Structure 1
Amino acid sequence: MVLLTARLVYTLHLAVCTLGGTAYGVLAADTAGAHRPFRVAIIGAGIGGCSSAYYLKHPDGHGDQDGRAAEPSLPIDITVYDASPKGPGGRVQSRSFPVAAQDSGDDNKEDDPLLDVDLGASIFIRDNQHVYNLAQHFNLSLTRRPMSDGRLAGTSALWNGHEFIWTLDSRPWYDPTMWWQRLRLGWRYGFRTVGQMQTLVRKFVEDFGQVYDASMPRWRSIHELAERLNMTALLRQTARDFFVNDAGLNAVFVDEIVNAATRVNYGIDVDQIHALAGLVSLAPTVSDTMAIEGGNQLLVRELCTRSEARAYYGQRVVSLQPSLHINGAEECMRLVEQAKARSPVDQPSTLHQSIPHGCRPGWTVTTQDGHQATYEAVILAAPLDHAKFHNDSYALDVAPVHYKRLHVTIVRGHLNKGYFGLDDAASIPTSIMTHGEGKPSFISLTQLAVSPPLPYRISHAPPTIDTDTSTPVWVKLFSNSQLGSDVLTRLFHYHDADTARHDLFRSYPLMTPENARSDRRTEIAPGVWYVNGMEPFISTMETETVSAANVVRLVRDWAKRVLQQTAG
């Protein structure tokens, strides 16, 4: 079992790389209106929004292989809105940086290849059936070694802010030195610990796989889903409590290895994050880890493009309001209000079953430039904490969620061995995870690739660097706060400040037991569904597509009902 520790460390290395007072608007149907498509607005063009658009257009999913029968075609018109002018992607963002050609020392920048770096979601696993199968269906190339440059050593290490707790290199398992390193890790953590951990994670992955079953009913809240998967208890305790007290894993292993995994995946320590997210962080230890060549953002773009949705990029939605005065809707509104009075307040979906014949629900979306359009359904696919639109005439049934603020820094330069207490003969590990006890200045550090020669300013290059022989590298850092010049100056002998890139992501919810306590409804107002409500439960690319598929099934159920009633 000790041999498995290397896989665990390697996969961690890759991971581095309530309805109240609702005013419900309707549209009066006319002769033409009875035959027009069911109109859906999607707010947000990240992977959740683009998956929703794709599944609305292709209800069989193409990427799903769960045995569900093909859905009948419905006349649905789809419009996607996103505040970013850069197009689809959301928190799945990829950027390209020049790297040094491997077969030439030529300084000609035009000849330098590009390195595609995922700033947000970097990896997924083979068991992520939606993302993996969609990528295959779209003929996107996959790699099992994302952001890998063969010229770098491939070593991994755990840093506590003062010293390396351990270092493990990538030499073959049969190398005698590797046997000794693994023996030391087994001695430190227990020879059976990794196997015990993997047994727990495999069971979790298998249990979660129920969401792909054709027999899985639609779920209308996250607590309902958690109960079906028998995972409610995992949301109510910390990962450390679960692994140490319930599962009996070695406490040092949990505090160092599992903690490194939760920090590198979610920026939260193992004694704060809930147990379900802790298991998600370890999923790469039992399934092949991969990414899309060219960046995972390519998948999001394909989803939006193939949905054939009308898209408004760079158009922030500023208002989402019920439509009350369109085409003589007052009479329909009166009838809907009567139906509403007969429907239980805590079961908004029952209102849809009482929509009067000839009436269609309506929600008006207004963007920052004044564009307005009315839709029968709205899918919110951006965290509501980030959406700053105006909605004063109804209450959305959404509990507040606090999101993690994660800073991503991409910079190239000559790393300083002295910062890590290494002598000149030592090599800086390629992937550095951290232990929070020593309060390190970053969460993780990954050397991505060899950089072309830097544009040295001789007056600023310290004499400790031999710029003719020292190798500059591209480095990706995750941190809780922006890394200022003071930190970078200590971390690097010399770095190229002009090409350094800083990005701030409100990347995922703080997945604590407290944050997961409130239930999140899928339908947060009549005719409005919320994809991101799943995030306090699990936040990954895959679970955004799973949530989108569930929301689309609910929207299609309602669309059938509305189209049948208006046609009648």
Structure 2
Amino acid sequence: MRIGYFSKVGAAVTAFFTPSTFQLSGGPDAAKELAPTKSVAIIGAGAGGSSTAFYLQKLLQPEGEPLHKHQLLHPTTITIFDQSDKIGGRCQVFFTTNPADPEKNKPEEELAIEVGASIFVKVNHHLADSTKEFGLKVKKLDNELLAIWDGNEFLFVESPWRFWSILKGLARWGLAPIKLNRLLKSTVDNLLHFYTSPESYTSIHEFSTAHNLHTEASILTHEYLESKGINKQYAQEVVEVATRVNYGSNLDGIHALGALVTMAANDAQQIEGGNFQIFEGMVAKSGAEVRLETKIARVRRLEPQSEGEEPQFEVTTTTGQKQIFDYIVLAAPIDSTNIDFDISLPPQPKVDYRTIHATFVRGNVNPSYFYTPTSPVRSSTPSAKDFPSHILSTNARAEFTSLSIQARLSNGETITKIFSPKELSKDLLDRLYSNRTWVKHKEWKAYPKLRPIPLQKEENGAEPEVVVEGEDGSGQTVFEKKHAQKKQGLDAQKKTLDAWGQVEVVPGVFYVNSFEPLISTMETETIAGKNIARLLRDRIVGHCPVEKNLKR
């Protein structure tokens, strides 16, 4: 779908090769090495877990050498656990068929419909590069038209002629899209620095400040846009439309970084056959042993057997199987795993996930639901062919968040996906569709609520008040009061940093989803995975000690 200069967004959040090209490995054969083999357990086979395995194997290869275990910088095994029977996590599809078309000599074909993470964009370098590496076929979406719906009428309908859409945008929103585009470019450029930097980060605060993302992550979107001179009409009719469809949030419920990322949706694309194929490819290339349909019950820290050794971890499945690992990577939200962490795991920042209802309908949308004779956009109901592919709603009277055409079938029907905060009623479906062949529904915790994360307050440098001992009854000396104030400041600083979350939560245990309060997309999950792969590489190869990796 095309964004044009007014930053049109895709219809779902915010990532792949032909499955037959790869076979999931049972793990490479153990090579005879003098150095003791290190073992890594990755719990979760979504974007974060798959990319951690993929990049760790790459980082352990000597430069210019082909991938063989005996040539790794240090012998290492990777085991991936997931309770699902599929790789991909929240990146899921369901399969249906497009009926045969005898008149055009087209046979029946299988279609993959994205349930969760639907699109990625050109600047998502990890996903784009993996697509090329795995030989996947890309389906571009920039030719699909978008409309903005307020629950009563269309506020904007995109034209097939891009120039005309730009003129309509200028007439309605003035220069606001251009101003926002400048903010987008600055934010995207800051995030792109990760791809060229060799640095690894042990906390989200460290990562966000290194890439100048912390300010936008600490303020609500409506306050941020107002401070940047973005008019309220554009904020509500375009930016809020994007945050609603991508994160189920209005502008007063999401930080500005999340909103800006949703607007950076130029060159939207999918993988034919399903985006999950990227993560299948990553897992296959990593050479990891894969244990699907395996739920972890407990992770227990084992005390070192001798001085100077690092602790190991015993992983126990719900069926009672046990295995010992040197490092643990948790690639799933801690609160949803129900794993017993017997490792003195410190409290993590509270991350609430928003419940989204996704409804899939095969049939025909009823255009008269949207158009009336008095519509300011169109005086007559359009044909199904001219109907917008994506209808995104503002925070007004809309009965759903978004409605997007996923496939146009040979018999004239479409398959549409509707996002909504609650399950759609039969009455609403009767009004929305002139006919329905089938309806599918999925309720799930789709993405986190991206609330502002507090910034660390800088000390103002003021000298503490001089207090003579005994005069105010406190008995504090000047030195004692200064010391107490300093301790109070350090405690406040630690509390602020803890609100951002740690990547290595305890020595040897790494948490991919610590990135989620900052931003949650398929691409940023792979960034989190690669960052942890760098930390693991350094630990395994011995580039830096534990103390350095755990500095706050």
- Partner residue of 1:207? 190
Residue 426 in structure 1 maps to residue 376 in structure 2? no
Give the direction of change, closer, same or farther, for the CA distance of 1:54–1:416 in structure 2 (3 Å limit): same
Secondary structure (helix, strand or coil) at the match of 2:513 reads helix
Name stretches of at least 5 consecutive residues in structure 2 with no aligned partner.
Answer: 15-31, 63-70, 374-379, 456-495, 547-552
Q: Indicate if the aligned counterparts of 2:3 and 2:265 stay in contact, CA closer than 8 A.
A: no
- Partner residue of 2:78? 78
- Partner residue of 1:233? 215
Q: 2:442 aligns with which of 496, 503, 515?
A: 503
- Partner residue of 2:488? none
- Partner residue of 2:300? 321
- Partner residue of 1:48? 48
How far did 1:7 drift?
Answer: 5.3
- 1:431 maps to amino acid: H
Q: 1:127 aligns with which of 123, 128, 137?
A: 123
Q: 2:348 aligns with which of 398, 402, 407?
A: 398
- Partner residue of 2:26? none
Q: 1:155 aligns with which of 127, 145, 165?
A: 145
Give the direction of change, closer, same or farther, for the CA distance of 1:480–1:425 in structure 2 (3 Å limit): closer
Q: 1:218 and 1:318 mapped to 2: Cα distance? A: 30
**Greater mean alpha carbon deviation, residues 300-309 or residues 128-137:** 128-137
How far did 1:234 drift?
Answer: 0.9
- Partner residue of 1:465? none
Q: 1:494 aligns with which of 435, 449, 465?
A: 435
Q: Indicate if the aligned counterparts of 2:60 and 2:73 stay in contact, CA closer than 8 A.
A: no
CA deviation profile, 1:409-435 (whole Å, cap 9, x unmatched): 211112223322446742443210000
Q: Indicate if the aligned counterparts of 2:137 and 2:271 stay in contact, CA closer than 8 A.
A: yes
Q: Indicate if the aligned counterparts of 1:222 and 1:534 stay in contact, CA closer than 8 A.
A: yes
- 1:549 maps to amino acid: K
- 1:485 maps to amino acid: K
Residues 23-172 of structure 1 aligned to structure 2 (within 5 Å): 35-59=35-59, 73-85=73-85, 87-101=86-100, 104=103, 111-145=107-141, 154-170=144-160, 172=161
Q: Indicate if the aligned counterparts of 1:6 and 1:168 stay in contact, CA closer than 8 A.
A: no
Q: Indicate if the aligned counterparts of 1:397 and 1:521 stay in contact, CA closer than 8 A.
A: no
Residue 303 in structure 1 maps to residue 282 in structure 2? yes
- 2:93 maps to amino acid: S
Give the direction of change, closer, same or farther, for the CA distance of 1:60–1:501 in structure 2 (3 Å limit): farther
Q: 1:37 and 1:492 mapped to 2: Cα distance? A: 60
Q: Indicate if the aligned counterparts of 2:298 and 2:316 stay in contact, CA closer than 8 A.
A: yes
Give the direction of change, closer, same or farther, for the CA distance of 1:8–1:116 in structure 2 (3 Å limit): farther
Residues 77-476 of structure 1 aligned to structure 2 (within 5 Å): 77-85=77-85, 87-101=86-100, 104=103, 111-145=107-141, 154-170=144-160, 172-173=161-162, 179=164, 182-190=166-174, 192-214=175-197, 216-245=198-227, 247-285=228-266, 288-324=267-303, 331-332=305-306, 335=307, 356=308, 359-392=309-342, 394-422=344-372, 425-427=381-383, 428-438=387-397, 440-451=398-409, 453=411, 471-476=412-417
Give the direction of change, closer, same or farther, for the CA distance of 1:509–1:11 in structure 2 (3 Å limit): closer
Q: 1:488 and 1:515 mapped to 2: Cα distance? A: 42
- Partner residue of 2:469? none
TM-score (normalised: structure 2): 0.78
Give the direction of change, closer, same or farther, for the CA distance of 1:374–1:34 in structure 2 (3 Å limit): farther
Q: 1:295 and 1:410 mapped to 2: Cα distance? A: 16
- 2:296 maps to amino acid: V
How far did 1:206 drift?
Answer: 0.9
Q: Indicate if the aligned counterparts of 2:453 and 2:500 stay in contact, CA closer than 8 A.
A: no
- Partner residue of 1:151? none
- Partner residue of 2:460? none
How far did 1:394 drift?
Answer: 1.6
How far did 1:485 drift?
Answer: 2.7
Q: 1:362 and 1:189 mapped to 2: Cα distance? A: 58
- 1:508 maps to amino acid: Y
Secondary structure (helix, strand or coil) at the match of 2:335 reads coil
**Greater mean alpha carbon deviation, residues 484-493 or residues 378-387:** 484-493
How far did 1:9 drift?
Answer: 6.1
Residues 522-537 of structure 1 aligned to structure 2 (within 5 Å): 522-537=503-518
CA deviation profile, 1:74-122 (whole Å, cap 9, x unmatched): 211110000102x21101112222224567378x9xx322322221111
TM-score (normalised: structure 1): 0.76
Residue 556 in structure 1 maps to residue 526 in structure 2? no
How far did 1:562 drift?
Answer: 11
Secondary structure (helix, strand or coil) at the match of 2:399 reads coil
- 2:170 maps to amino acid: G
Q: Indicate if the aligned counterparts of 1:9 and 1:156 stay in contact, CA closer than 8 A.
A: no
Secondary structure (helix, strand or coil) at the match of 2:147 reads strand
Q: 1:186 and 1:564 mapped to 2: Cα distance? A: 56
Secondary structure (helix, strand or coil) at the match of 2:251 reads coil
Q: 1:14 and 1:394 mapped to 2: Cα distance? A: 38
RMSD across aligned positions (CA): 3.0
- 1:537 maps to amino acid: L
Give the direction of change, closer, same or farther, for the CA distance of 1:253–1:396 in structure 2 (3 Å limit): same
How far did 1:193 drift?
Answer: 2.1
How far did 1:44 drift?
Answer: 0.0
Give the direction of change, closer, same or farther, for the CA distance of 1:162–1:425 in structure 2 (3 Å limit): closer
Give the direction of change, closer, same or farther, for the CA distance of 1:360–1:391 in structure 2 (3 Å limit): same
How far did 1:494 drift?
Answer: 2.2
How far did 1:261 drift?
Answer: 1.2
- 1:437 maps to amino acid: A
- 2:95 maps to amino acid: S
Q: 2:128 and 2:317 mapped to 1: Cα distance? A: 34
How far did 1:368 drift?
Answer: 1.6
Equivalent residue pairs, number: 470
- Partner residue of 1:464? none
- 2:299 maps to amino acid: L
- 2:275 maps to amino acid: N
Q: 1:477 and 1:515 mapped to 2: Cα distance? A: 34
Secondary structure (helix, strand or coil) at the match of 1:125 reads coil
